[in-house]
Structure 1
Amino acid sequence: MKWLWILGLVVFLECLVRIPLMKIKTLRETLMEKNLVTYFLEENTDVQSQNVTDDPQFTLLPLRNAMALVYFGNITIGTPPQEFTVIFDTGSSDLWVPSIYCSSPICRASRLFNPHLSTTFQHTCKVFEFKYGSGTIVGSLGYDTVRIGNLVNLGQVFGLSKRQIGFEVAPFDGILGLAYPSLALEGTTPVFDNLKTQGVISQPVFAFYLSNQKDNDSVVMFGGVDHSYHRGQLKWIPVSKTHFWQIAMNRITMNGVAVGCFNGCQAFLDTGTPLLLGPTRLVTTIQKFINATPSGREYEVPCSSITQLPPFIFDISGNEYPVPAQAYIWKNPQGRCLSNFRGDNHHSNKVETWVLGHVFLKLYFSVYDRGNNRIGLAPAV
C-alpha cells in the first residue's frame, strides 16, 4: 500500500509521521446505478425487558430513509455541537464526516465539520483512506465529543474528510460504523466501544428497526431493546467471527429446493447495504429461478412476478426466515421491477459468504449484543 500524503491547512502540515490506513467494505453501489441515491443461546440474558425508555443510559434515535435504500440519522460532534446525518453501519467500524478541509465538489453540498469552532477538538498527525463500494474517503483523524441522542461520548476519534471520490448522490454526510474493533483503523476505538467503556450505556447492545415508510418510523437504539418493535421472542444466533457481524447460515431454499449455501455458509448482517449479496455464480442461478434478465448492471423481472413467485427461505441456526417476492423484487419510480439479489465478489472466495442487507433487515428486527457476541432476530412489527 503506498504512503498517503497529508492534505489540508497549516495545522496538519506540522505532522511528520504519515500512516497509511485503509479498509475495504461493501456499501450501497446501486444508489447511483438506480439513479437514486441449530444452536441458540439461552433466553435469560443481559438484554433486559424493563421499560428502557425510562433509562437515561438508553437512546432511541429516529432514522430517515431515501426510497428505503439508505437509512441515516443525526449525530453531533464538537462543543458547541455541529450536526451531521450519518449512516449507522454494521458493515464498518469507523466514524467520518466531511470537513472544511475537503476540496471535493461533493463536499460543497454537505455539512462540514469546522474544528476551529469546537473548544473540545484535538487534532492528530494520522491520515486515513477508507474504500467503500460507492467511493473513497481520504482525510485526517481528530478527537472530539460525539453525541447520539442523549448519549455523550467524550474524546471520540473520527475522520475529517479532505477528499471524497464517489458518493455523488448520497443523501447523508458521513458514516458511523458499528462493527467490531478488529475492522476499525489500527489503534483507534470505535464509537460503540467507547460508549461501553465510558459507562454511557447500561447494556452493551444496539438494535435496528427499518421501515419502508419515508418518515421517522425507522429507529436505531443504543443501550437496550424496546421490544414493542418486534413480534414474538428474539431468536439468538452466535457470532461466528468477531469482525463483521458474521453468523453461520445453513442453507437458502426456494420451493424446498436449495439454491445457495448448500453445505452451510457464512453471512453478514449489514445495515449499510440494501441488497442481498452473494457469490456471483450462485446469484446468477437465482436470477434464472425468478426469470430475471440482465438490464445493464441490474436484473429486470416481470412485475407480475411479485404476486406469483414464492419466498426464499434463509435457514439460520435451524430457524427459517422467509423473504417474500415483495421484498426481493423492487419496483423503481420508473415502474421497472428489479431483482434485489446482486453478485458480490468482495469477500473471501474460500468460504461462501452472503450479505443480508435491508431486504432482509426490513422484515426482521435485529439486536446486536456485544456482551454475548450474538445477534437476535424477530419478525418486525
Structure 2
Amino acid sequence: MDLQTIKAARIARQEGKAGVGASSMVHDLGSSGGDIIPLKNYLDSQYLGEIGIGSPPQNFTVIFDTGSSNLWVPSSKCYFSVSSTGNFCEIHYGSGSISGFFSQDNVQVGDLVVKDQVFVEATKEGSLSFILGKFDGILGLGFQEISVGNVVPLWYNMVQQDLLDDEVFSFWLNRNPEAKEGGELVLGGVDPKHFKGKHTFVPVTKKGYWEITMGDFLIGSHSTGLCEGGCAAIVDSGTSLLAGPTDILNSYHFQPIITEINHAIGAEGRVSAECKEVVSHYGDLIWELIISGVKPSKVCAQLGLCLFNGTRYASGIESVVEKEHKEKSSAGNDLPCTACQMLVIWAQNQLREKETKETAISYLDKLCESLPSPMGGLTPEQYILKTGEGAAQVCVSGFMALDVPPPRGPLWILGDVFMGAYHTIFDYGNLEVGFADAA
C-alpha cells in the first residue's frame, strides 16, 4: 500500500546523463517566495497533493515524486479538453507498471497553470500499490533524462513558461501523521518557517534522478566502511523508506548499525573549519599519496591524522560500535581524522573523473564550505514507523534493502524517512540539493 518498493525496476530501465555540479554554495533563503502546495500525510508513507487538468480543471490527488519525471493520472476519470496524441507508453516501477497513452492539456498546480503539458492517461495499473494507494497518479519532478518518451517534464515547462521566481522547489514533510499540516511543496521558493539554521548544499553528480554522493556512513565520528570510496544516493520523495543495496543492509555487519543508527545519519564531526584546515595543510599530500599507490585506508595514518592499528579501517562495524561506546566523550578529538577520511574519498572520486590536482583541491575546499557544524542525526522516532493502534500496533524499520542494477546502481535511496528529518531544497538552476533541520 505504500511506495517502499516503487523504484528499482524503473531505475533499471531509465538512464540519465552526467551533470555538472554548480559551484555556488550561497543561497538567499530570507524570502518565502513561491507557490505553496499543501500536502496530506498518509501514515508517514505517502505525501499527497492536488492538481487540476483541463479547462475547467478536473482535480487529481498525486504524489510529487523527485524520483521520476512523467505525470500520469488514470484515464477512467478523465474528460480532458484536448484530445489524445494516440501514442502508447508504459512506465515501469519496482512494484509494477502503468500503461496508457499520451495526452496534452493545461495542468494547474496551486496557482500556477502550465499550458500544453504532455502527460499520460493510464488505462492499466498493474500493481496493488497503485490500486489500493490513496493517490490517483504521480507527478514526476526529476530530470528529462529519465522521462519516458522524452516528454518535457512539468517542472521544465514551469521554468520555460516563466511561472517561477526562482528555479528551485522545496519540501517539508511532517512526520506526525496526526498533525493538521501534512507537509508542503513550495514551487519557486522556500518557506523559512519550516527549517532551522542553514542548509547544507551538495552538488548533483548525475542528472536524471536528483543524485548526490554520500561520502560516508558514520557511527558518531567513526566510519563504518559501508561507503568506502563514496556511495551514490538519490533524494526521492516518492519512496517512503530509506533504502540501500541488499548486500549491505541484509548482511550481519549492518545489524549493529540498526541499534546505533540514531548516531549514524548526519555524520557527526563534519565541521567545515576542520575540513578546510586539512585541505589547506594536507590537500596536496593526500592527492600525491593516492596517485603514488598508497592504499586509501592508510593515507590519513601516514599523515599522522589517524591512528592505524590494523583494525580501525577493516575490522568491521562491531569494533566501531564498541569503540563508540568507549570513546563518546572524546569524539571531538577525531575531527581531523574524520575530515581526512572524507577528503580521501572525495579525492578518489575526482581522480576517477580525471580532474587535475588544482581543480580537485579547489573542489575539496568548496565541499568543506558546504559542511555545517554539525548536521543532526535521525532519532529512533524518525526511522521507526508505527502502524495500527493499541495492542495491534506494529513497529516497522524505516530501512529496507533494494537493489538498483547497473548502470544506474547500486544506489542508496533517501526517501521520506530521511527527508522528514530535513527541509530539502532542489535547486534546478545550480544543480544542487540543500538540507537543513526541519522545523
Q: TM-score, normalised by structure 1?
A: 0.76
Instruction: Please list the CA deviations of residues 159-203 of structure 1 after superposition, one character each: whole Å capped at 9, or x if unmatched.
Output: 001111112320000000000011112341100000000011121
C-alpha separation in 2, matches of 1:162 and 1:376: 37
1:29-40 pair list within 5 angstroms: 29=5
Match of 1:129 in 2: 90
Match of 2:141 among 169, 178, 183: 178
Between Structure 1 and Structure 2, the one with more strand by share is: 1
C-alpha separation in 2, matches of 1:152 and 1:193: 13
C-alpha separation in 1, matches of 2:266 and 2:247: 18
The residue identity in structure 1 corresponding to 2:387 is N
CA contact (8 A) 1:124 1:141 kept: yes
For structure 2, list consecutive stretches of 5 or more residues without a partner in the other structure. 7-20, 271-366
RMSD: 2.4
Match of 1:360 in 2: 418
**How many matched pairs?**
312
1:215-254 pair list within 5 angstroms: 215-254=180-219
Post-superposition shift, 1:40? 8.9
Match of 2:56 in 1: 80
C-alpha separation in 2, matches of 1:171 and 1:159: 19
Post-superposition shift, 1:41? 4.6
1:1-381 pair list within 5 angstroms: 27-29=3-5, 41-45=23-27, 49-52=30-33, 58-100=34-76, 112-115=77-80, 118=81, 121-166=82-127, 167-214=130-177, 215-255=180-220, 256-258=222-224, 260-285=226-251, 287-289=254-256, 310-315=262-267, 319=371, 320-333=375-388, 334-348=392-406, 352-381=410-439
For structure 1, list consecutive stretches of 5 or more residues without a partner in the other structure. 1-25, 31-38, 53-57, 101-111, 292-304
Q: 1:342 to 1:217 in 2, by over 3 A?
A: closer
CA contact (8 A) 1:251 1:314 kept: no
The residue identity in structure 2 corresponding to 1:99 is S
Post-superposition shift, 1:72? 0.9
C-alpha separation in 1, matches of 2:408 and 2:239: 22
CA contact (8 A) 1:40 1:236 kept: no
Instruction: Please list the CA deviations of residues 203-262 of structure 1 after superposition, one character each: whole Å capped at 9, or x if unmatched.
Output: 111000000233334000101112221001112111001110000111112242415212
> Which deviates more from structure 2 when the two are superposed, residues 180-189 or residues 319-328?
319-328
Q: Comparing both chains, which one has the higher relative contact order based on Cα–Cα distances under 8 Å and sequence gaps of 6 or more?
A: 2
The residue identity in structure 2 corresponding to 1:174 is G
Q: TM-score, normalised by structure 2?
A: 0.66
* Aligned partner of residue 186 in structure 1, secondary structure: helix
C-alpha separation in 2, matches of 1:230 and 1:165: 38
Identity of aligned pairs, percent? 33
C-alpha separation in 1, matches of 2:408 and 2:174: 34
Between Structure 1 and Structure 2, the one with more helix by share is: 2
